[in-house]
Amino acid sequence: MTFFAHRSVSDGRRAARVGVAPGRYCVSLTTGHCRYIHPEDESAHEALARFCSLLKIEMAHPAHLDFWPRALEVRDGTVALPPIRLRLLEEIVLRSPKPGASVDLREEFFRWDHLEVGRPVRYGLNFSTLHGRGSMGYGGPADLTDPRVCLGILEPLPRNQLSLLSEALVPGLRADWSVDAYDDDGNHIGRSVGAREFIVAHGFQSIGNDQD
């Protein structure tokens, strides 16, 4: 990655300034979703949103973000930054429940398509409770090998793993869910595009958290 210093360019008719103005900058690098401008064409917008959702930033350095400079000085010429690698994750297709469905968490399954990548895959679920324009995220079941799970029939787990989720998913609440996939080495290999919304019809019980 290279930053070009601020300079003037012209095509003979118009002049413009390009590059980064001289100064000292803090540059952040996130491993989340990329940001993009919404195109007018809806199909192009959906394709671009899908691409950005699956885009993964990887650091070409074992120390990950520790090698990234806290600040850099831009004067003349160019400023070279450590290399990074971009790749696309495999897309996980969510199957059920359908968007907006009312879900009894005691007995209904969350299902998705299994990734066929030629090696073992482990899945982790993510949940968010939706409150107006805000949301609160919660970790769900992880290390799953089967592409489905019912929160109400999971094997007993330590209280700190699912009790917060069971306390948060109360009847009548709007929530959403998504899935990530990892290989046996912990490498992130797949993700669902976006999260799917549902309504909690009935919550589920976690160890140490009884619900009527």
Task: Report, as an integer, the average pLDDT of 10-33.
Answer: 66
Q: E strands along the chain, which residues?
A: 2-4, 7-10, 15-18, 23-25, 55-59, 72-74, 78-80, 84-88, 90-92, 94-96, 101-104, 110-112, 122-131, 134-139, 148-149, 174-182, 188-192, 196-202
Mean pLDDT computed over every residue of the chain: 79
- φ, ψ of residue 159 to 5 degrees: the values are -55, -40
What is the average pLDDT across 91-97? 96
The arithmetic mean of pLDDT across residues 47-64, rounded, is 71
| pLDDT interval class at 59 (50, 70, 90) | low
Report how far residue 141's alpha carbon sits from residue 173's, in angstroms, rounded to the nearest whole number. 20
Counting beta carbons within 10 angstroms of the beta carbon of residue 41, is it exposed (0 to 12), middle (13 to 18) or buried (19 or more)?
Answer: exposed
pLDDT at 211 over 90: no
Q: What is the pLDDT of residue 75?
A: 73
Higher pLDDT: 8 or 201? It is 201
Whether residue 147 is preceded by a cis peptide bond, meaning omega within 30 degrees of 0, is no
Least-confidence region, from 20-24, 34-38, 174-178: 34-38
DSSP 78: E
| Predicted pLDDT of residue 170 | 94
H or E element: which one contains 62? Answer: none
pLDDT digits (tens, 9 = 90+) for 106-161: 999 999 999 999 999 999 999 999 998 889 999 888 899 999 999 998 865 555 56
Dist CA 120 CA 33 (whole Å)? 25
Q: Region 4-20: what's the mean pLDDT?
A: 61
Confidence of residue 53 (pLDDT cuts 50, 70, 90): confident
Highest mean pLDDT among 29-33, 38-42, 175-179: 175-179
The answer to whether 181 and 158 have CB atoms below 8 angstroms apart is no
- Choose between 128 and 76: higher pLDDT: 128
**Domains in the chain: boundaries:** 2-88, 90-202
DSSP-H helix ranges across 30-78: 42-54
- Amino acid 18: pLDDT: 60
* 8 A C-beta contact, residue 161 and residue 138: no
User: What is the model's pLDDT at position 146?
Assistant: 94
CA angle, 115 as apex, 175 and 127 as ends, to 5°?
15
Fold of the domain built from segment(s) 90-202: Immunoglobulin-like (2.60.40)
- The string of pLDDT tens digits covering residues 15-26 is 665 666 777 877
Percentage above 70 pLDDT, the chain: 70
Q: pTM for this one?
A: 0.72
177 pLDDT tier (thresholds 50, 70, 90): very high
- Strand 188-192 to strand 90-92: parallel, antiparallel, or no bridges (unpaired)? parallel
